A and B are shown apart, each in its own frame.
Chain A
């Protein structure tokens, strides 16, 4: 033990500079997040409230979950464009299982999530075994999955799914309701929506897997230098395939959550969500070259996008202007990241 303690004590001198850089970068993202919150809070009193906080968190769940998957894929040097479509396919599969086949809701959603995992597996096989560029492979599955979702629903929304189907998306943990003297219920605390709980748990687990497990180490190694990883005995194909499976599975889960929130399965749901997911990862410091990225960064990125949308909405900024602003934010953050890397 001594042996490990003494040198790290001795060597902390130069180590700080790199550490500091890391911290500064984290704070840069976090700082801009805080600035956004302050600005919006000043602009609109309704913004800074528990209720709106929960709303934002709920809105962020889908970008967040997809962003976690995107982070895994992008760290290996890949990209997953299919998640928006996979989300829709998984959601309608879950809904059809419940409605047409009479499955119990958890089982139906399980099938939906499995559909997402399968789509991810297909992506992984296309990229590793068939050696297609990730962009093309997932572009293909994006079209196929969307087409399938429209096909099996006849392009119609699947509704009449029952209350149980809506529980995952609309329920909340620790919701506190007091019945007043007049007999009417009053909500004292809105509770933490289940999707937010789910996202938090998954984000923590994803961060742990990425930083603390053999698999996570291999993910970084593959992205940092594929050839060196292969020559060090890392099963590159397996690692890459698994990251697409993770991305697909999370897309499947996101699909179930979204459809549950609406209590309706929309085959048109999730269009362009893949770009939000990629944007949140990139704003959070994940490098498209591979080898670099963190779940905490992606979470910050997802909240930056979510808060921008929410705050701009509350201030009556049109959807078009919102797009312009978010586009500029993406360009700005990535440019800053480039500057930092160039030194």
Chain B
């Protein structure tokens, strides 16, 4: 019934400006290149997007803002043909489209520049731009035309990159330009840019913005995703805010302020999302880090963590939070600095050293780094300490292991049909609980939680927050790395704010708001 209604609205909209039905149909205006109507996307267990509608005009830079997990990436993946929407319609150039693959979307003129650039490092710039669309002369590639066409595109962007050189020799910014050239070569009418400036210097950003303005002048509609709200004012015409998978607002950027956008992004009721904190930090320092440095990743990072304290690591993606945690855990090396744990200098060269000392790290990427997803629940729960359920000869005591596994399944309320169930068949929240259980069984005294609630539904989030609080109450030191500011504010005692590999400020959580963290995370200097 709803579908039919939408269609009627569309037809009427074409004819005139009349609109019927319960909502304003955005697709109807002549100056719209792309319209999204009630896009909903449900993944098993999670609704990533619910009823999102907005439109993109040609020659417009349209920012899409929202916290991590707000549904921006899912939405972009739907537009670019990676995912199919569960319901809702994509109207592109006045026609309803269902792209079955990114290739099909690209061929129709919707190009996406991914955060992690999709270039083939060993091919040349020209070959990358025209990959799978090489100009041919008979069965052979027309190398001269390939190079000339690439050169023309790069000239149009006003960048000096040799089309013949290999992509792996380029800087990230140059790679980005190559991606844009590729999008230009597709004659894209819609260009999606996902955090394009996250790894660019200021100067490179300036060049990028000039290119964006040129594209804009050429009539390309640009969807621009960025966490750096301060840079939006330089280029953005309109801004759409998403929150928890829902559309909050779409408005002219000139008519709003960064503060108003932020409050819309985070403006959810904070009550009930976090458990009452029962733990209070002791005076005893458990971990002390001084001058920790790895060239190119983080420098001169120093902080203390007390027993029973939850310390937040806040900052933008790529600010060095994960890198610091992994270095302390021994997963990656570091160049300089000292780590004092429980009063002793710790030499950590390998995760085994850290684990032996009682340090644990819950990876942000649980499937790739936290779990052996093909193995059953029980094997994953005891993975960090199989010897703990074995006798002296290294033979596993099955009944002991079963007892241990049962204990943690009950304690953490892990929902699994059986301890022998392969972990990949469980929900994200239960998977995360298994990783936590693994480190609880190892009797960890310090636990890094890296984005522990990413991709987890609200109920499971609450359970994980409560576990963190209980751990702290038992005197465990907890570091919470999170890009979700409400989470940082709701759960931590103090926050270390990272910006470009440094801790810019350590703040008492009780005295601050989200704006303070955002301020220091974007490196804006002293706040007055």
Give the B-binding residues of A (Cβ under 8 A).
Answer: 3-4, 7-8, 11-15, 18-19, 212-215, 217-218, 220-221, 224-225, 227-235, 291-292
Q: B420 at interface (Cβ–Cβ under 8 A)?
A: yes
| Measured CA separation A291–B394 after assembly (Å) | 20
Residues of B within 8 A of A215 (CB): 394
Q: Nearest chain-A residue to B393 (Cβ)?
A: A213
Interface string of B377-419 (1 = CB under 8 A from A): 0010011111100100011101100110011011000000111
Question: In the complex, are the beta carbons of A224 and B373 less than 8 A apart?
Answer: yes
Residues of B within 8 A of A19 (CB): 420
Question: In the complex, are the beta carbons of B379 and A220 less than 8 A apart?
Answer: yes
Residues of A within 8 A of B403 (CB): 3-4
Within 8 A of A (CB), among B343-393: 351-352, 355-356, 361, 363, 368-375, 379, 382-387, 390
Question: In the complex, are the beta carbons of B379 and A231 less than 8 A apart?
Answer: no
Question: In the complex, are the beta carbons of B418 and A229 less than 8 A apart?
Answer: no
Residues of B within 8 A of A212 (CB): 395-396, 398
A-B Cβ contacts below 8 A, count = 101
Q: B331 at interface (Cβ–Cβ under 8 A)?
A: yes
> Which of A213, A225, A230, A292 lies in contact with B390, CB distance below 8 A?
A213
CB distance from A13 to the nearest CB of B (A): 7
Residues of B within 8 A of A231 (CB): 329, 331, 351, 361, 363, 369-370
Q: B198 at interface (Cβ–Cβ under 8 A)?
A: no
Residues of B within 8 A of A220 (CB): 372, 375, 379
Residues of A within 8 A of B351 (CB): 230-233
Question: In the complex, are the beta carbons of A233 and B384 less than 8 A apart?
Answer: yes
Residues of A within 8 A of B89 (CB): none
Residues of B within 8 A of A292 (CB): 374
| Measured CA separation A224–B352 after assembly (Å) | 19
Q: B438 at interface (Cβ–Cβ under 8 A)?
A: yes
Question: In the complex, are the beta carbons of A14 and B418 less than 8 A apart?
Answer: yes
CB distance from A123 to the nearest CB of B (A): 22
Can you name 16 A-B pairs with beta carbons within 8 Å? A3-B406, A4-B399, A13-B417, A212-B398, A214-B394, A214-B396, A217-B386, A224-B375, A225-B368, A231-B351, A231-B361, A232-B351, A232-B355, A232-B383, A291-B374, A291-B375
Question: In the complex, are the beta carbons of B390 and A214 less than 8 A apart?
Answer: yes
Q: Nearest chain-A residue to B407 (Cβ)?
A: A3
Question: In the complex, are the beta carbons of A234 and B383 less than 8 A apart?
Answer: yes
> Which of A213, A225, A228 lies in contact with B395, CB distance below 8 A?
A213
| Measured CA separation A225–B422 after assembly (Å) | 13
| Measured CA separation A18–B424 after assembly (Å) | 13
Extra 10 A-B pairs, beta carbons < 8 Å, given A15-B418, A224-B374, A232-B383: A8-B419, A12-B418, A14-B418, A217-B386, A220-B375, A228-B369, A228-B372, A230-B351, A232-B351, A232-B438
CB distance from B83 to the nearest CB of A (A): 21
Question: In the complex, are the beta carbons of B369 and A227 less than 8 A apart?
Answer: yes
CB distance from B395 to the nearest CB of A (A): 5
Residues of B within 8 A of A225 (CB): 368-369, 371-374
| Measured CA separation A56–B361 after assembly (Å) | 52
| Measured CA separation A83–B369 after assembly (Å) | 32
CB distance from A21 to the nearest CB of B (A): 11
Q: B302 at interface (Cβ–Cβ under 8 A)?
A: no
Q: Nearest chain-A residue to B376 (Cβ)?
A: A18
Question: In the complex, are the beta carbons of B368 and A233 less than 8 A apart?
Answer: no
Q: Which 10 A-B pairs have the closest CB atoms?
A: A224-B372, A14-B417, A233-B355, A15-B418, A232-B384, A225-B372, A214-B386, A214-B394, A232-B383, A224-B374
CB distance from B430 to the nearest CB of A (A): 14
Q: B87 at interface (Cβ–Cβ under 8 A)?
A: no
Residues of A within 8 A of B368 (CB): 225, 227-228
Q: B216 at interface (Cβ–Cβ under 8 A)?
A: no
Q: B421 at interface (Cβ–Cβ under 8 A)?
A: yes
Question: In the complex, are the beta carbons of A213 and B406 less than 8 A apart?
Answer: no
- Chain B residues within 8 Å of chain A by Cβ, number: 43
Residues of B within 8 A of A233 (CB): 351-352, 355-356, 384-385, 442
| Measured CA separation A74–B421 after assembly (Å) | 23
Q: Nearest chain-B residue to A230 (Cβ)?
A: B351
Residues of B within 8 A of A224 (CB): 372-375
| Measured CA separation A3–B402 after assembly (Å) | 10
Residues of B within 8 A of A13 (CB): 417
Residues of A within 8 A of B402 (CB): 4
Q: Nearest chain-A residue to B398 (Cβ)?
A: A212
CB distance from A218 to the nearest CB of B (A): 7
Q: Nearest chain-A residue to B383 (Cβ)?
A: A232
Question: In the complex, are the beta carbons of B379 and A217 less than 8 A apart?
Answer: yes
Q: Given A18-B420, A235-B352, A213–B394 Cβ distance below 8 Å?
A: yes
CB distance from B416 to the nearest CB of A (A): 8
Residues of B within 8 A of A8 (CB): 418-419
Q: Given A212-B395, A213-B395, A291–B363 Cβ distance below 8 Å?
A: no
Residues of A within 8 A of B419 (CB): 8
Residues of B within 8 A of A214 (CB): 386-387, 390, 394-396
Residues of B within 8 A of A14 (CB): 417-418
Residues of B within 8 A of A7 (CB): 406, 409
Question: In the complex, are the beta carbons of A221 and B383 less than 8 A apart?
Answer: yes
Residues of A within 8 A of B394 (CB): 213-215
Question: In the complex, are the beta carbons of A291 and B417 less than 8 A apart?
Answer: no
Q: Nearest chain-A residue to B439 (Cβ)?
A: A232
Question: In the complex, are the beta carbons of B371 and A15 less than 8 A apart?
Answer: no
CB distance from B166 to the nearest CB of A (A): 23
Residues of B within 8 A of A4 (CB): 399, 402-403, 406
CB distance from B375 to the nearest CB of A (A): 5
| Measured CA separation A229–B370 after assembly (Å) | 8
CB distance from A42 to the nearest CB of B (A): 40
Q: Nearest chain-B residue to A237 (Cβ)?
A: B350
Interface string of B91-128 (1 = CB under 8 A from A): 00000000000000000000000000000000000000
Residues of B within 8 A of A227 (CB): 368-369
Question: In the complex, are the beta carbons of B370 and A228 less than 8 A apart?
Answer: yes
Which residue, B374, B399, B419, B422, has most C-beta atoms of chain A within 10 A? Answer: B374
Which residue, A11, A213, A224, A232, has most C-beta atoms of chain B within 10 A? Answer: A232
Question: In the complex, are the beta carbons of B420 and A15 less than 8 A apart?
Answer: yes
Q: Nearest chain-B residue to A225 (Cβ)?
A: B372
CB distance from B138 to the nearest CB of A (A): 36
CB distance from A72 to the nearest CB of B (A): 16
Q: Nearest chain-A residue to B397 (Cβ)?
A: A212
Residues of A within 8 A of B385 (CB): 233
Residues of B within 8 A of A213 (CB): 390, 394-396
CB distance from A33 to the nearest CB of B (A): 26
Residues of A within 8 A of B384 (CB): 232-233
| Measured CA separation A291–B442 after assembly (Å) | 23
Question: In the complex, are the beta carbons of A218 and B386 less than 8 A apart?
Answer: yes
| Measured CA separation A6–B523 after assembly (Å) | 56
Within 8 A of A (CB), among B42-82: none
CB distance from A229 to the nearest CB of B (A): 7
Residues of A within 8 A of B387 (CB): 214
Q: Nearest chain-B residue to A220 (Cβ)?
A: B375
Q: Nearest chain-A residue to B402 (Cβ)?
A: A4
| Measured CA separation A234–B398 after assembly (Å) | 20
Interface string of B8-45 (1 = CB under 8 A from A): 00000000000000000000000000000000000000
| Measured CA separation A220–B378 after assembly (Å) | 13
> Which of B355, B373, B417 lies in contact with A15, CB distance below 8 A?
B417
